[in-house]
Chains A and B, each alone.
Chain A
Amino acid sequence: MSRAGLINLALFAMLPLTAGAALMLDEPFIITLATKVAILALAGVGLNIALGLGGLVSLGHAAFFGIGGYAMGILASHAQSFTPLMQAPFLIEGTKSMPVIWLVAVIAGALAALAIGALSLRTTGVYFIMITLAFGQMLYYFAISWPAYGGEDGLSIWVRNGFPGLNTLDPIQFFAIAFVLLALALWGAGRLAASPFGLALQAARQNAERVETVGLSPYRLRLVAFVISGAVTALAGALFADLNRFVSPTMLSWQMSGEIMIFIILGGVGRLYGPVAGAALFILLEHVLGGLSDFWHVYLGLLLLLVVLFARGGLIGALAGREVAHD
């Protein structure tokens, strides 16, 4: 196995090993941290499809993360208050079922990404960054000013949503759910990168004119990538809200978009396991440095600066070397 392969395997095994060790030592908080890493990594895997494969620097992915969060919050809040979402023209009730919530989150995230992407992808470069940021902020302020679902205060869900056959309130079982979804997303993203679509998408990042000349539309390729990316990030948002049993406009803030991007940059842009490495490092720093100082973001900024200046392949790039695997 190549060095990069070993590193990926180690990264992949790190989460269940940590959670398993925490279970033996009876440290549920550590399990919760591992769950948080898995969920944030999942959000990063989503963004990485747009950013790493498509070269689309979206600073508005918190929109999809938050939409997933609110999909969970809205459905669960109606279920816990026994009020339907809608009575006419047909009845829609809330739900506490995770699979249903995930499905709604994924569809809502995909539709939002379709609308935002269809407009944003007409621009490139810095304009694309700004327009995705603007859409993200629109949703952020919309959530703040929407009193029906808590407005600025957010929404609390009293009991974690259910999954058939599992006790989701048991930290290790909820971790297992998050980890399996992360594993599936990593597998899917890996397949996507090597697929015909992945070949064309990554070519569009390198040279859009070339892709046009072979009769493929870079716009369509990017839009589909953006939709898949938004859907995966929305799924992560639904899980994140379930982890905290709380959803608030913070999930939609541009700082959140920045954090998801930081996972990718720390781990390595375009690396399949980059978001896993980045999210793990981020949470580790948050808890080690955050314990020392409330201003730990200073050190995060410093680290980010070092990575960007000296290790542009991120953590994985620094460990595995710059060589990217070819078929």
Chain B
Amino acid sequence: MTEPLLRTENLQKSFGALRATDDVSLDLRPGEIHALIGPNGAGKSTLIKQIAGGLAPDAGRVVFDGQDVTALSTVARARAGLGRTFQISALAMEYTVLQNAMLGALGQAGSVWRFFRPVMGDSALRLRAEQALERVGLETLVTQRTAELSHGQRRLLEVAVALTLRPRAFLMDEPMAGLGTDGSQTLTAFLDDLRREAPILLVEHDMDAVFALADRISVLVYGRIIATGTAAEIRANKEVREAYLGEEAGV
């Protein structure tokens, strides 16, 4: 078995009496898509925040590429190569699509401390931003203001910004939400290829996408992982069916 690139060890997080993250250990191996599913309120977003930074666990560790990153800031983790997309789009809404992608390229290049030359004239950054936008199919919208994009287009832009970072691992929080059937099929095909560049920890509600893509699936219920396994194993798991999939007939 290959060494996991990212893993959490016994993560704990409580809000008052609520155990939002209860002894969660999971890992992400090179080349795989590991899907994290669970009903609303199961603590998926809380878990993602502890992995990406921004929310400190009460106990446990986050290890990325052999390094304990638990105490590192969001910024430091992003620099280390964690590429995150948000459930609720976190984009610079006044900027154009291209400017948002340029921001990602700029962050990755680390060349932000330049005060005189116009950033839009930096052809290396621009090329990288345009390539990322082209890969998600937003190349016709480069001059569009982000605030004017549809919900689904914003999700794609989130993915494009993450691509400009050239991360070592992706953390994607519901990238399919709001995409519609066509859109989510296109993105599913795209993520299918993307796993070869960097593994993806995928939080997703779209079960078609999850079962089509995931090498492994972890099921989170009330902050606990009740099962981890391949799509077939998860489908066959009795506990999972009772706790979660029971509502989703025909999966």
Residues of A within 8 A of B (CB): 191-192, 194-200, 202-203, 206-207, 209-217, 221, 224, 324, 326-327
Contact = CB atoms under 8 A, between A and B. Distances in A.
Contacts of A213: 52, 74, 78, 84, 86, 90, 161
Interface stretch (B23-31, B36-44, B112-120, B236-244): B112-120
A304 B145 CA distance: 30
A215 B93 contact: no
Given A195-B114, A197-B112, A212 B78 contact: yes
Contact of A200 (B84, B106, B108, B164): B106
A215 B111 contact: no
B92 A206 contact: yes
Contacts of A210: 90-92, 100, 103, 161
A200 B115 contact: no
Contacts of B52: 213
Given A212-B75, A214-B165, A326-B145, A200 B90 contact: no
Contact of B106 (A207, A209, A214): A214
B99 A197 contact: no
7 contacts: A203-B100, A209-B90, A211-B103, A213-B90, A214-B165, A216-B107, A327-B120
A327 B145 CA distance: 11
Nearest to A192: B115
4 nearest A-B residue pairs (beta carbon): A214-B107, A215-B78, A206-B92, A215-B79
Nearest to A204: B92
B96 interface: yes
Contacts of B119: 194-196, 198-199
Given A216-B112, A221-B112, A199 B99 contact: yes
B75 A216 contact: yes
B94 A215 contact: no
Nearest to A324: B94
B110 A215 contact: yes
A195 B92 contact: no
B49 to A, nearest CB: 10
A324 B94 CA distance: 9
A199 B102 contact: yes
A217 B103 contact: no
Given A214-B78, A215-B78, A215-B108, A207 B92 contact: yes
Contacts of B122: 196
Interface in B39-98: 52-54, 73-75, 78-79, 84, 86, 90-96, 98
Contact of A199 (B75, B86, B103): B103
Contacts of B95: 202-203, 206
Given A198-B115, A203-B100, A221-B112, 17 more contacts: A192-B116, A196-B106, A196-B119, A196-B122, A196-B125, A197-B112, A197-B114, A203-B92, A210-B90, A210-B100, A210-B103, A212-B54, A212-B78, A213-B74, A215-B75, A215-B165, A217-B75
A213 to B, nearest CB: 5
Nearest to A206: B92
B161 A207 contact: no
B111 A196 contact: yes
Contacts of B93: 206-207
A221 B107 CA distance: 12
